[in-house]
Amino acid sequence: MVGQIRSQSAPRGSNPFALLQDNLQQQPVSARQSGHQTDNVQQTTYELISSQATSRSPKRSAVRAKTEAWLNEIPRPIPTSANILVLTQSDRENLIHGPRISLCINNIPIDAIPTNLFLRISHRFRAVHTTLPETRAVNLAPNTEPDAIRYITRWLRATSKQDTATSLPSLTSVRDQIAVCHAAHILGLPRAYYAHQVRYLRKYFGRCIPTYRELHTLEMLSTPRWNMLLACAAKNLRWLARNDEVPDPEVFAEFLARHPRIREAVEGDDGDVGDDGDEGEEEDEVDEEERSL
């Protein structure tokens, strides 16, 4: 039997299973060698061990109870930093378990994210959850691109399982990077996750000649609170126009005629288009266009 095997191999001393060997040796040989009587002896012996271990080793019982409570705690306490990149792998992985929040655009679900993880990283969702703790779905701003949201959620799930966490990977397409940075802003992620992409885009729009598709994306995604890239592009385009360095000026004029927000930014002064700078990670104010999240 299992109890007998353990009793024969267990060392004597402080090990509580050593009591099993002593008690079996004190039993009559006929009782230990008879079928169902052996089961009764083992059951009685285990009960005896439990009572004796509890009475003789209160400290051991307290440690065991504390250990069991720690193992049953799911998830266990995690440091309160909003930046999951500084957490250990086990702490990050604990965040992706449990219920999920549906991410929707115009009430259409596009993806889901673990609630514990979203609460940790998003100051916007924390504000919503404080008011509506039973929320199971959130509506994102209508101009958010679904593929950009899915790109971010896939990265969050992957980096939570990896041994070493990484920041949001960059994309080769400038247009896609704009969409991802905008989606990260809408989700309320800390700037630390995608600051390298924002720096690259600022340099790009401040020094290079962007494509019309990239400018169109800027116009579609920019808001009064998220316009630092539009500000960089407008300042650069204004300088190019004043120095007659815009390729195909007629095509550029037609483009501005069809895109009033860009035209207003380009024709204005350098201070007309705001720049939110290094947007705070705990920014709780949300403009009306993004009130849904």
Q: What is the mean pLDDT of residues 147-155?
A: 95
Q: Give percent of the chain with pLDDT exceeding 90.
A: 41
Structure token pair of residue 282: 């705990």
**What 3-state class would DSSP assign to 114?**
strand
Residue 7 has pLDDT above 70, yes or no: no
What was the pLDDT predicted at 162? 82
What is the pLDDT confidence band of residue 238, given thresholds at 50, 70 and 90?
very high
Q: What is the pLDDT of residues 77-112, one digit of tens each?
A: 444 556 777 777 788 888 888 899 999 999 999 999
What was the pLDDT predicted at 37? 44
What was the pLDDT predicted at 142? 93
What was the pLDDT predicted at 277? 43
Q: Where are the beta strands (DSSP E) in 122-230?
A: 137-140
What was the pLDDT predicted at 65? 60
What is the chain's mean pLDDT, rounded?
A: 74
DSSP 202-233: HHHHHHS---HHHHHHHHHH-BTTB-HHHHHH
Q: Give percent of the chain with pLDDT exceeding 70.
A: 63
Q: How far apart are CA 208 and CA 204, in angstroms?
A: 5
Peptide bond just before 75 cis, omega within 30 deg = yes
What was the pLDDT predicted at 58? 64
pTM to 2 decimal places: 0.65
What is the pLDDT confidence band of residue 11, given thresholds at 50, 70 and 90?
very low
What sections of 10-82 are H helices per DSSP? 18-26, 29-32, 35-56, 58-72
CA 116 vs. chain centroid, Å, equals 8
Residue 54 has pLDDT above 80, yes or no: no
Q: What is the pLDDT of residues 163-215, one digit of tens each?
A: 888 889 999 999 999 999 999 999 999 888 999 999 999 999 999 999 999 99
| In the chain, domain spans | 2-72, 92-290
